[in-house]
Amino acid sequence: MSLTPEQRAEIAAHGQETFSTRRPTVAALEAMLYDPQEVLDHGFVRVIDYMGDDAAIVQAARVSYGRGTRKVSEDAGLIRYLMRHRHSSPFEMCEIKFHVKLPIFVARQWIRHRMASVNEYSARYSILDSEFYLPDPAHMAAQSEVNRQGRGAILAPQAAAEVLDILRDDAMRTYRDYERMLDAENGYGLARELGRINLTLNTYTQWYWKIDLHNLMHFLALRIDPHAQYEIRVYAEAMLKILHAWLPVTAAAFEEYRRGAVTFSASMMAVVRRMLAGEVVEQAGSGLSRREWDEMMAILKAPAA
């Protein structure tokens, strides 16, 4: 369970509040405000605030005084042009603020995306909850033999069960020790900033994460990729659904030109041109390394030579 009944009641009360505004709003995203989209076993993503809509991107690109009288199709065409040619500054005019609950090891990956404002729950001042991420057995896999950062074959059921027991026991034991170290009456009264160092990386933390649209799309492009770690990918997928509700035209352009697009190196393009000219090209004579060749052929959906 990611939220207590008290927290859900607080969110529901927050959602009943309304404010008049002259700023553009997006009905689909307004309906999602404050509502947690549950992720993993105890995590969630929810939108706290946002600024801008699809029209705001167009307005910024044209540096106009208002929403204009051009057709929606013309605005969509401009957004697609901006996305296709990587003109990023108009997209920076939109911003969104998320409240995210996530395991610490996911947060350490996430924080690598530095173009955001972040405020994390402080275990120096508050006591962390006894909530830990435990993987579903379907996602428990051995180390990949070909990818140093990835997973390989799924563990056998017995092995998966034993690993889960280890993860659960370690997390619960360290949390009990954490509580005992902090307890001034029956423990040691240790400072919270020291007691927290004992906790496992699957302990949940929370933060507010505010980012502009350009950098959000960069985050999503990397983290919804099939090669991204599953535990951060599911957060990105939840946020992509939010993007579609917030900025449907921009989201469609993102799907077309970022998520669904590929990049070839100059050497790869030279090989493709040779192939289009009718030449039979093998890896040995392509000028590409084996890895580059395999990547190119995988994109072209052809068997590697």
Q: Which of 216, 242, 235 shows the shortest CA–CA distance to 32?
A: 242
pLDDT, residue 73, reads 79
User: Which element (helix H / strand E) includes 297?
Assistant: helix 290-299
Whether 99 shows a pLDDT value over 70: the answer reads yes
Q: Is 112 annotated as a binding residue?
A: yes
Region 190-196: mean pLDDT is 96
Q: Please say whether the structural domain 5-133+202-259 has been given the CATH code 3.30.1360.170.
A: yes
How does residue 29 score in pLDDT terms, banded at 50, 70 and 90?
A: very high
pLDDT at 7: 77
Can you tell me the mean pLDDT for 228-248?
A: 97
Q: Please compute the mean of the pLDDT values over residues 5-28 and round it to a whole number.
A: 82
Residue 283, annotated as binding a ligand: no
Residue 180, marked binder:
no
Does the annotation flag 42 for ligand binding?
Answer: no
Mean pLDDT of 117-138: 94
Determine which of 7-11, 29-33, 230-234, 279-283 has the lowest per-residue pLDDT on average.
Answer: 7-11
In the prediction, which pLDDT does 198 show? 95
Beta bridge partners of 212: 95
**Counting every residue, how long is the chain?**
305
Give pTM, 2 decimals.
0.90
Q: What mean pLDDT, rounded, does the chain reach?
A: 92
Task: Find all residues with CB under 8 Å of 208, minimum gap 6, and list them.
Answer: 48, 97, 98, 99, 100, 118, 119
- What confidence score (pLDDT) does residue 255 get? 97
Rounded-to-integer distance, Cα 260 and Cα 282, Å: 27
196 annotated among ligand-binding-site residues: yes
Whether 223 sits among the annotated catalytic residues: the reply is yes
With 70 as the cut, is the pLDDT of residue 302 above it?
Answer: no
Show the DSSP H helices in 142-202 as ranges: 157-182, 192-195
Mean pLDDT of 191-214: 97
Q: CA 108, CA 231: separation in Å to the nearest integer?
A: 12
Task: List pLDDT tens digits, range 43-80.
Answer: 999 999 999 999 999 999 998 766 655 677 789 999 99
Out of 223, 259, 274, 290, which one is annotated catalytic? 223
Is 2 flagged in the annotation as binding? no
The secondary structure of 200-264 as a DSSP string is -TTBEEEEEEEEEHHHHHHHHHHHSSTTS-HHHHHHHHHHHHHHHHH-HHHHHHHIIIIIT----
Between 10-14, 39-43, 59-63, 157-161, the lowest mean confidence (pLDDT) is in: 10-14
Residue 218 marked in a binding site:
yes
Residue, of 200 and 147, whose pLDDT is higher:
200
